[in-house]
Structure 1
């Protein structure tokens, strides 16, 4: 039986990716719903192009409750002058726009987690259609991809930029060169515990240079975390040769997540108390958090112990925790890459 050709994407861009200058427009995805029969999801996009050169794809809002990236990228879309650019910059401040408007990690339309939906489908759910457009249209245009993340409402992180260990060592080396150029306070050799369907994986499998961040969290942004995002985005453009000048390099602490021992998960419901703060050292076997039962007084708390020596790089943000929630994440300090 002959394989059917892939359908074209239902998403249409109101910008031309090949035209010089600056264009502000939308990725328009038809979405018929109760309150708008011929309605659309309108995802903001900016393209800044000037002559020949590399293309950087800068994205935020992959998860809708993470705000440092969108703040930095909406501002960059307003301020980046085409005369400063040699090449092309594609800016999508809020990839999963329905989730971004709702302030939720996943889409309120279909509960889709965009960062677990790649390669997507042109005839799938709204989230799958967005993933398909990035997979088949935007990623092939890019040389370098910077995807901003933070902890959202459920986690809080030390501010770091990260890349992954890859089979292609030349690609890996280039990615870590961009991590160094981003110049976050911390730089990470990152381990993913659930990489299937990720934007990261889609880009890396195409041979793209891909870097990401975890900058703060708690469902908000601070002046400091936004400043890291702003500086990092410009540093990436400078390092790519798209914007003239050298990256503004600041001191960074290099970290590694060597294996699954980095992660600690809750096994019961309760009130969580941390025994260390972000950035503090934790010894293997030490109690990193306690979960206090809330159904009655007098019950002994459940202890969450560290599986390795390291520093605390992420923690559960809300005061209450449920079984299966990521409670704490550790990493080890390493020499500069």
Structure 2
């Protein structure tokens, strides 16, 4: 028995290949077989597309399946490998984390061959699939309790050349937002491991709420635009329509751009994504639930900025992030 992670097919074989990425078993559960699609058209870019990193973000797996359907007729060069569901255990549970070990797959890269099941998935992807690619698209969505625009995102990268190439690739999606996102929880993220291997990595984040036909069409159009930019397929890239507009803007957000709830209660948003706000403008209102005499609390903008994401109306705890703001990107 082969105890190392491996593909059940040879991705160097010309044309379409379908098979599995085999993740060896461990003490917590047996072997996993993750379905993988590969299309090899010879010389050209090598792209890896993944979805289902987080189990409660299902737009990615759906768009990845759509890509598999039309790619054989449209790809003209290079190699594209698509793994629609990175973490089937989390998807089955509609959970951000893997139920068996409680781990977030996007925080355990490069993984461990002798670790828990989540760590073994990360290890298999890091050792088998990632070396085959020069560009990676990881398809996410922002979660059901947020209003967040369709976005192609990255984190600040120390290598200025890789940073510039990554931003150019993210902008090629032509989604309403290209975002450089400073984050305080990047240890073990898939993109950090890819960037350590000098790969261009773009994380697509798509909104929140329900999975809808209109949103999926925008997401799919963004992925197609990016493939056109890589010259893997032919065509004319176009801005998808989002809330009656065809446009895109590049923004950056820092840790200080998080607006947090001062107490627990029901958060009521008072603005929408891409709204421009000035210092003192009301972003949202926090309503207490344990008193009819206590006043509701206004949550206000700390300065001139653009609304990047806002809680879509939910019960929040003290110090929980309820809104994100941003400003124009300056590389």
Same-fold status (TM-score > 0.5) = yes
The structural deviation recorded for 1:121 is 0.6
Report matched runs for 1:1-337 at 5 Å.
10-31=4-25, 39-81=30-72, 84-218=75-209, 220-248=210-238, 251-333=246-328
Say if 1:22 and 1:82, in contact at 8 Å, map to a contact too: no
Aligned to 2:243: none
- 1:205 to 1:33, Cα distance in 2 relative to 1, 3 A: closer
The structural deviation recorded for 1:124 is 0.7
Stretch deviating more after TM superposition (106-115 or 223-232): 223-232
List alignment gaps of at least 5 residues for structure 2.
Answer: 241-245
The structural deviation recorded for 1:320 is 1.1
- 1:327 to 1:27, Cα distance in 2 relative to 1, 3 A: same
- 1:9 to 1:64, Cα distance in 2 relative to 1, 3 A: farther
The structural deviation recorded for 1:118 is 1.1
The structural deviation recorded for 1:95 is 1.2
CA deviation profile, 1:265-286 (whole Å, cap 9, x unmatched): 2342211111212222222333
**What count of residue pairs does the alignment treat as equivalent?**
325
- 1:98 to 1:263, Cα distance in 2 relative to 1, 3 A: same
RMSD: 2.4
- 1:272 to 1:122, Cα distance in 2 relative to 1, 3 A: same
Say if 2:24 and 2:120, in contact at 8 Å, map to a contact too: no
Measure, in 2, the Cα distance between the counterparts of 1:291 and 1:148.
32
CA deviation profile, 1:215-245 (whole Å, cap 9, x unmatched): 1112x32223211221122222222222234
Measure, in 1, the Cα distance between the counterparts of 2:322 and 2:314.
11
The structural deviation recorded for 1:248 is 3.4
Measure, in 2, the Cα distance between the counterparts of 1:238 and 1:83.
10
List alignment gaps of at least 5 residues for structure 1.
Answer: 1-7
